[in-house]
Chains A and B, each alone.
Chain A
Amino acid sequence: MSEIIHTKLLVVGGGPGGYVAAIRAGQLGLDTVLVENDKLGGTCLIRGCIPSKAIIHVAGEFETMARAAAKPRHGISLKNAPTVDMAETVRWKEIIVGKLNSGVAVLLKRAKVRVVNGWANFTDAKTCTVTSAAGEPVTIHAEHVILANGSLPVELPLLPFGGPVISSTEALSLDQLPKRLVVVGAGYIGLELGIAFRKLGAEVTVVEALGQILPLYDAPLVEPVRKWLERHGVTLHLNAKAKELVTGKGGVSLAVETKDGQTLQFPADKILVTVGRKPNTDGWGLENMAIDMGGRFVKVDDQCRTSMKNVWAVGDLVGEPMLEHKAAKQGEMVAEIIAGEKRRFNPASIAAVCFTEPEVVSAGLLPTDAAAKAVKTITAMFPFAANGRALSMDAGDEGGFVRVLAREDDHRILGIQAVGAHVSEISAEFALALEMGALLEDVAGTIHVHPTLSEAFHEASLRALGHAIHI
């Protein structure tokens, strides 16, 4: 006889949307069950943000040493070139993932959330059966359901995953460095990993169907990244389409149609396909739940309600941007709504970071956005080349800057972008400024610590007001 669980709240998916919802629900005293088939933590923690940042960190260290070995640098020289043991790197990454993963488990336990391991399959909107290799199936009936099923890498029809064709998931667990890596798709995932592998010594070719890398951003913002690729010998093919895998004598290569109609072949040990992610809507009974879809996503309102009463959905499943911090905020909010609080999802901005070289941050509107063009605006940027801290980190010559966009009439800040080393860490100030409704005068009137990168935000705001000091 299989077990039947009756619960107030069922959360499906142990990623940031799901586990945050479950913890918050537990804190609020709701009887909560969380179902996850894999380890807790979701894409972000297990095969996304965190593992990639670990690999990127290792790649950065390796590159610094390799440069010192090639040529003494700032007084440091190395006799021998460094080597990297990818299997060991991946093991170290797994330790970090393991720590965070068990941390989530502890937090859930402390919040009195029951975690059921297995694959949930819905038979109707409030009932699912959880099957796992380990034991008997469990049936769960819930008053409220939060769907946090996340997303999956998009596969190209002519280039299915398998063999040398890998997704970001496999790229983060390679036990050997691919000598030749072809990256299909110059979005942030492809570039972050492509750059990391380049730093580790792989020959990297990037193929992008559109005319620009990081196509979501404007050209000046991504220019320092493009320049880095150029300087470090990453071959970039824009307006080029990946066609198919060609197997020849010397191994496999990827056939690519370039913008002028030529077909080129790039020999590759691995082909990393990063052309986006899609909501995970198949294989768990969504079709039995009578829930309305909005395109390929589950349709929700500004409280993350689906069309079915008391069924909620959060995170990558409900739309762009597919970002951890959005999912977590939505999860937290839904738990509070179920507990009777009045909430809605109404952020001023959801900032995004690319951990490329250099890093890119964008919060709020870009100057190229229609909403920004609809009003009169002021744009001002401040280069890191004029920032002491950036120079002291050898990060002044890569073309980085902070840029602020504000309404001309009342000076409210509409958007803030930055590109440069370590700018991810000043993204929170950008988000805070936008959420608090800061004006240029507010940032100008805030004393920023010297010497830090954040001074560039202060100076950009001063410059927008017409009186920058250090430029």
Chain B
Amino acid sequence: MGRYIFKLPDVGEGTAEAEIVAWHVAVGDRIEEDAQLVDVMTDKATVEMTSPVSGTIVSLHGEPGAMAPVGAPLVEFEVDGAGNSAGAKATPAAPEKSLAAPAKPLAPPRPALAPEGGEGKANTEAAKPAPAAKPAAPVARVSDAKPLASPAVRQRAHELGIKLQFVPGSGPAGRISHADLDAYVASGARGGPARSPYAQRDGVEEIKVIGLRRKIAERMQESKRHIPHFAYVEEIDMTELESLRAHLNAAKAADKPKLSLLPFLMRGLVQILPLWPQINARFDDEAGVVHRFAPVHIGIATQTVNGLIVPVVRHAEGRNIWDCAVEVARLAQLTRDGKASRDELSGSTITITSLGALGGVVTTPVINRPEVAIIGPNAIMERPVVRGGRIVVRKVMNLSSSFDHRVVDGYDAAEFIQKLKSVLEHPATLFMD
């Protein structure tokens, strides 16, 4: 038997540390090679780590939420054969003590037992007296037994989506009654609907900000702390672009993707950004250097079940609108499935964040640091507009934007947005040199 220490490997280019998101094993578990071990998160990608060896878990280092530097020991195994840790044998006691690994449930208390040896004779005990020692009174549910409950209670629990294993039973042998189920539901356990819509509710849920949520929190905090934002909003007449878009969608070949507003907006940015190089940039404020980019790598803010993630359409300048649409859809799917790679989630030079589909008049987007600008299209709405002295109905969109005032002046930003308005309102110019 030997010890094998699994150290956090370099999970992505340039990663210095990763956050432990979830353990799939506990101390004492026997695990096979390649079985799921732990999920760690770097930047915005979660990586599922599998076990490099078969063995028994001796210790786990770090609770979910903890940061682990690359190269730090994560898991200690006891393995057949020599393992990889010569000196470890002598020192397992110390790290084990500090572990916060989930304790195994204690063995249930057993009542005084009847004499042994009755089991094999059970079948023929017709003439035998009943067990001599009177068994003790009923005890709480023993851990290896199925939860005890009547069919009506089981049915109700099933309808509420509650697993009876988790419901404490107050009856003999831990039998679960309707009252126990009520108490479990009232205690805020998941599943049960409130009995009255106006019932007062108590209780505060404590949710650890870890994983992606913590990453988002840090990034937002840093952006707002470091960057003096200013917002600029302009009204854009989207009528012509919308009719072009409708036409393209109606006339497109079957293998082409459906076009949303995004590819057009991306096209517009690609068209005009060369005129404002200070906006297609990343500002390394610690070094005091602005990197102006020739390529346009557009971050697309994407909502996932776990939170906001920004995949990146690289080299938008090299893509036509169809390519842009395909790439946006592909990245969105990958991101929502949690399968986007690190490369697909980093390196943007400007970001688009659209809440337009939900409505809303104005947003003040937070810049995706270290970028210096972010564009936020809002909902397109039909509005009365005065044209040549007459009121006409036009499709109008408010375009929000935020800039890093340290490196982008208000005048330039306004000019930039005005130019963007101009190309979007005359969509033919999107496709002209």
Chain A residues packing against B (C-beta within 8 Å): 218-220, 341-344, 346-348, 367-368, 373, 375-381, 383, 401, 405, 407-412, 435-437, 439, 441-442, 463-468
Rounded to whole Å, the gap between the CB of A216 and the closest CB of chain B is 15
8 Å CB contacts to A: which residues of B109-152? 110-111, 113-114, 118-119, 122-126, 130-135, 138-139, 141-142, 144-145, 148-151
A465 in contact with B141 given A220-B123, A377-B119, A383-B126 (CB within 8 Å): no
**Chain A residues in 8 Å Cβ range of B139:** 409-410
8 Å CB contacts to A: which residues of B138-170? 138-139, 141-142, 144-145, 148-151, 154-155, 158-159
A-B contact pairs, 30 of them (CB 8 A): A218-B123, A343-B155, A348-B151, A375-B144, A376-B113, A378-B130, A379-B122, A379-B123, A380-B131, A381-B126, A407-B145, A409-B111, A409-B139, A410-B141, A410-B142, A410-B145, A410-B172, A411-B173, A435-B150, A437-B149, A437-B150, A437-B173, A439-B138, A439-B173, A465-B134, A465-B135, A466-B131, A466-B133, A466-B135, A467-B134
Rounded to whole Å, the gap between the CB of B128 and the closest CB of chain A is 9
**Chain B residues in 8 Å Cβ range of A380:** 125, 130-131
Given A405-B122, A410-B173, A437-B148; 18 other pairs, CB 8 A cutoff:
A342-B159, A343-B155, A367-B122, A379-B122, A379-B123, A380-B131, A381-B126, A409-B111, A409-B142, A410-B138, A410-B139, A410-B174, A412-B145, A436-B150, A437-B150, A463-B130, A466-B130, A466-B132
Complex partner residue of B108 from A343, A409, A411, A467, CB under 8 angstroms = A409
Chain B residues packing against A (C-beta within 8 Å): 108, 110-111, 113-114, 118-119, 122-126, 130-135, 138-139, 141-142, 144-145, 148-151, 154-155, 158-159, 172-175
**Chain A residues in 8 Å Cβ range of B132:** 466
Q: For the complex of A and B, list the 4 residue pairs with the smallest distance between their C-beta atoms, beginning with the closest.
A: A437-B148, A410-B173, A379-B122, A466-B134
**Bound complex: CA of A410 vs CA of B138, how far in Å?**
5
Q: Is the CB of B123 within 8 A of A367?
A: yes
Q: Is the CB of A408 within 8 A of B173?
A: no
**Chain B residues in 8 Å Cβ range of A219:** 123
**Bound complex: CA of A467 vs CA of B129, how far in Å?**
10
**Chain B residues in 8 Å Cβ range of A367:** 122-123
Complex partner residue of A412 from B124, B125, B133, B148, CB under 8 angstroms = B148
Rounded to whole Å, the gap between the CB of B124 and the closest CB of chain A is 6
**Bound complex: CA of A428 vs CA of B322, how far in Å?**
69
Complex partner residue of B131 from A348, A378, A407, CB under 8 angstroms = A378
Complex partner residue of B114 from A348, A408, A436, CB under 8 angstroms = A408
Rounded to whole Å, the gap between the CB of A226 and the closest CB of chain B is 14
**Chain A residues in 8 Å Cβ range of B110:** 409
**Bound complex: CA of A341 vs CA of B155, how far in Å?**
11
**Chain B residues in 8 Å Cβ range of A368:** 123
**Chain B residues in 8 Å Cβ range of A468:** 130
Rounded to whole Å, the gap between the CB of B115 and the closest CB of chain A is 11
Residue of B nearest to A435 (CB): B151
Q: Is the CB of A437 within 8 A of B175?
A: yes
Complex partner residue of A408 from B108, B113, B159, B174, CB under 8 angstroms = B113
**Bound complex: CA of A465 vs CA of B174, how far in Å?**
19
**Chain A residues in 8 Å Cβ range of B123:** 218-220, 367-368, 379
**Chain B residues in 8 Å Cβ range of A377:** 119, 122
A379 in contact with B125 given A441-B138, A465-B130 (CB within 8 Å): yes
Rounded to whole Å, the gap between the CB of B399 and the closest CB of chain A is 45
**Bound complex: CA of A441 vs CA of B347, how far in Å?**
70
**Bound complex: CA of A420 vs CA of B151, how far in Å?**
29
**Chain A residues in 8 Å Cβ range of B154:** 346
**Bound complex: CA of A468 vs CA of B133, how far in Å?**
14
**Bound complex: CA of A466 vs CA of B132, how far in Å?**
7
**Bound complex: CA of A373 vs CA of B120, how far in Å?**
9
Rounded to whole Å, the gap between the CB of A262 and the closest CB of chain B is 31
Residue of A nearest to B150 (CB): A436
Q: Is the CB of A412 within 8 A of B151?
A: no
**Chain B residues in 8 Å Cβ range of A408:** 111, 113-114, 135
Rounded to whole Å, the gap between the CB of A344 and the closest CB of chain B is 6
**Chain A residues in 8 Å Cβ range of B158:** 342-344, 346
Complex partner residue of B138 from A383, A411, A435, CB under 8 angstroms = A411
Rounded to whole Å, the gap between the CB of B190 and the closest CB of chain A is 15
**Bound complex: CA of A405 vs CA of B122, how far in Å?**
9
Rounded to whole Å, the gap between the CB of A69 and the closest CB of chain B is 34
Q: Is the CB of A381 within 8 A of B125?
A: yes
**Bound complex: CA of A412 vs CA of B149, how far in Å?**
11
**Chain B residues in 8 Å Cβ range of A220:** 123-124, 126
**Bound complex: CA of A342 vs CA of B110, how far in Å?**
37
**Bound complex: CA of A302 vs CA of B336, how far in Å?**
31
**Chain A residues in 8 Å Cβ range of B131:** 378, 380, 464, 466
**Bound complex: CA of A379 vs CA of B117, how far in Å?**
12
**Chain B residues in 8 Å Cβ range of A439:** 138, 172-173, 175
Residue of B nearest to A368 (CB): B123
**Chain A residues in 8 Å Cβ range of B151:** 347-348, 435-436
**Chain B residues in 8 Å Cβ range of A405:** 122
**Chain B residues in 8 Å Cβ range of A378:** 114, 118, 130-131, 135
**Bound complex: CA of A375 vs CA of B146, how far in Å?**
13
**Chain B residues in 8 Å Cβ range of A437:** 148-150, 173, 175
Rounded to whole Å, the gap between the CB of A87 and the closest CB of chain B is 44
**Bound complex: CA of A436 vs CA of B174, how far in Å?**
13
**Chain B residues in 8 Å Cβ range of A375:** 144-145
Rounded to whole Å, the gap between the CB of B140 and the closest CB of chain A is 8
**Bound complex: CA of A203 vs CA of B158, how far in Å?**
54
Rounded to whole Å, the gap between the CB of A413 and the closest CB of chain B is 10
**Bound complex: CA of A381 vs CA of B125, how far in Å?**
8
**Bound complex: CA of A467 vs CA of B132, how far in Å?**
10
Residue of B nearest to A383 (CB): B126
**Chain A residues in 8 Å Cβ range of B125:** 379-381
**Bound complex: CA of A346 vs CA of B151, how far in Å?**
9
Residue of B nearest to A464 (CB): B130
**Bound complex: CA of A347 vs CA of B124, how far in Å?**
29
**Bound complex: CA of A375 vs CA of B145, how far in Å?**
10
**Bound complex: CA of A468 vs CA of B129, how far in Å?**
10
Residue of A nearest to B154 (CB): A346
Most interface-central of A373, A409, A464 (chain B CB within 10 A)? A409
**Bound complex: CA of A310 vs CA of B5, how far in Å?**
50
**Bound complex: CA of A240 vs CA of B118, how far in Å?**
33
**Bound complex: CA of A463 vs CA of B114, how far in Å?**
14
**Bound complex: CA of A380 vs CA of B127, how far in Å?**
10
**Chain B residues in 8 Å Cβ range of A464:** 130-131
Q: Is the CB of A411 within 8 A of B135?
A: yes
**Bound complex: CA of A347 vs CA of B126, how far in Å?**
30
Residue of A nearest to B173 (CB): A410
**Chain A residues in 8 Å Cβ range of B149:** 437
Most interface-central of A410, A435, A442 (chain B CB within 10 A)? A410
**Bound complex: CA of A407 vs CA of B138, how far in Å?**
10
**Bound complex: CA of A465 vs CA of B133, how far in Å?**
9
**Chain B residues in 8 Å Cβ range of A373:** 119
**Chain A residues in 8 Å Cβ range of B124:** 220
Residue of B nearest to A348 (CB): B151
**Bound complex: CA of A180 vs CA of B46, how far in Å?**
76
Rounded to whole Å, the gap between the CB of B191 and the closest CB of chain A is 12
**Bound complex: CA of A250 vs CA of B13, how far in Å?**
93
**Bound complex: CA of A435 vs CA of B172, how far in Å?**
15
Rounded to whole Å, the gap between the CB of B138 and the closest CB of chain A is 5
**Chain A residues in 8 Å Cβ range of B141:** 410
